[in-house]
Chain A
């Protein structure tokens, strides 16, 4: 079983739709969680950190459920420019390096 699992998609949604991605992680001692966005052939860029209390940034909302060991990302009012791969990232507590463990990424395509 992979440490971080995501549905690879692709998710094809019309402009204006709401779309949600989930990610599960296996290490219950994980301590930091992030969503990164990666455009085709580009580097990952931080979209948002994920906190136990949940956090929102404009059209994007991230939630963390430690009991069930999953992270979610909700995108409201999808734009064409949201088309990208969304990477779920976990940092294991057992690692003093704070290295990132990535999921495979979920591809989103927003259609006109």
Chain B
């Protein structure tokens, strides 16, 4: 399967714990995005990487959130001291890059986080 993959698919944690999610984009894609989706809403942009550089972060990404893409391939999203409001689906997407004509983003299956 050459699509975007995410692990784990589901995560249940207790409030105050740290969690880390992984995303493996399509191999030739140099752009990688993280989004968060809550019930009944569309996905909301969190952060963007071009290769290994994190070029934009949303105001939604509080200082408890950190994302990395150390070698320009896979990415991790860490949430420290989780809160119940962090419960959501975390979606990763990748695109080829190179301008608006190569902007189509392909989404992974998401990681569903439940904070108890």
Residues of A within 8 A of B (CB): 4, 8, 31-32, 34, 41-46, 49, 87, 91, 95-105
Q: Which of A43, A91, A101, A104 contacts B110 (CB 8 A)?
A: A43
Task: In the complex, identify which listed stretch (B12-20, B40-48, B66-74, B80-88) lies at the interface while the others stay far away.
Answer: B40-48
Is there contact, CB below 8 Å, between A99 and B43?
no
CA of A6 to CA of B41, assembled, Å:
11
Interface of B is mostly: strand
- B40 close to A100 (CB less than 8 A): no
On B, residues with C-beta under 8 Å from A are 31, 33, 35, 40-45, 48, 50, 55-56, 91, 93, 95, 100, 103-110, 112
Q: Main SS of the interface on chain A?
A: loop
The chain A residue with its CB closest to the CB of B41 is A104
Q: Is the CB of A97 within 8 A of B55?
A: yes
Are A99 and B48 also in contact (CB < 8 A) when A32-B100, A91-B100 are?
yes
A102 and B107 in contact, given A31-B100, A43-B91, A97-B55 (Cβ under 8 angstroms): no
Q: Bound complex: CA of A97 vs CA of B57, how far in Å? A: 10
How far is A96 from B50 in the complex, measured between Cα atoms in Å?
A: 11
Q: Cβ of B43 and Cβ of A102 under 8 Å apart?
A: yes
> What is the CA–CA distance of A42 and B109 in the complex, to the nearest angstrom?
6
- Please name all residues of chain B whose beta carbon is closer than 8 Å to the beta carbon of A103 when the two chains form the complex: 42
Q: Is B45 in contact with A101, judged by CB distance below 8 angstroms? A: yes
Provide the bound-state CA to CA distance between A43 and B89, in Å.
9
Q: A46 touching B43 by the CB < 8 A rule?
A: no
Q: How far is the CB of A24 from chain B (nearest CB, A)?
A: 14
Cβ B108 vs Cβ A43 within 8 A:
yes
23 sampled A-B residue pairs with Cβ under 8 A: A4-B42, A32-B100, A34-B104, A42-B109, A43-B91, A43-B109, A46-B105, A87-B43, A91-B100, A91-B103, A97-B31, A97-B48, A97-B55, A98-B95, A98-B103, A99-B33, A100-B33, A100-B35, A100-B45, A102-B42, A103-B42, A104-B40, A104-B41
